[in-house]
Amino acid sequence: MPEFESAIIKTYAPNPGASMFLSDESATTKLLVRSDQAQFGLVFGASSAVGEALICATRPDEWLILGSEPAVDAAAAGIDSGGFTNVIPFTHGRSLFRLTGAHAAGLLEKICGIDWSDAMTPEGAVTSASVALTTCDIIRHDRNGIRSYLLMCDRSFGQYLFDALLDAGDEFGISVE
């Protein structure tokens, strides 16, 4: 595997009074499973922790495994390789960001058409939608009770989306973490 290089090449000054945070987690190991078999007992729209890895059902026939390399490898042992199943390393092909803050849903509502209320997208919900006109997989993955979202897009859109999120988060006091 080549050494990982994030699409985020700009440097950002931290905002000391920030109440919302955006971090580049693109180096996270990502493994994509496309299959006509049910995988991990997860239906489209759900996610679940398996060991240290996070497994997300990102499409009706697609699952995404996120985590450290050993954690992803361990979780991948649970893939049902029957039927027509493809397992694709995605680490270098996608950018992954984490947006955290009490008003994170308010930021997403500005640039994405999904209903981010708890009733529609509770902790663990997985969905795909346009975020600032970029196709993203979005996972609600709260941190210590604070609302948090993982956003994954094509690597080539990474720097654009990162800046678009910072721009939309300006009114909420966002900072790069």
Partner 1 sequence: MLLVPCPYCGPRNSSDLRHVGEAISRPDPNAASPEQWRSYLYLRDNVADWNVETWYCTRGCRKYFKVERNTATNEFRDPPMPGNKIGGKA
Spell 138-161 as b/e; 16+ CB within 10 A means b.
Answer: bbbbeeeeebbbbbbbebebbbeb
Q: Which two tokens stand for residue 156?
A: 């080539």
C-beta closer to partner 1: residue 45 or 106: 45
C-beta closer to partner 1: residue 27 or 120: 120
- Residue 136 CB, nearest approach to partner 1 (Å): 8
Task: Name the site residues for partner 1 (rule: CB under 8 A).
Answer: 41-48, 57, 59-60, 113, 120-130, 135, 140
C-beta closer to partner 1: residue 102 or 120: 120
Cα 112 from chain centroid (whole Å): 15
C-beta closer to partner 1: residue 27 or 117: 117
- Residue 113 CB, nearest approach to partner 1 (Å): 4
Strand locations in the chain, DSSP E?
20-24, 29-35, 47-50, 53-59, 62-67, 85-89, 94-100, 126-131, 134-140, 148-154, 174-176
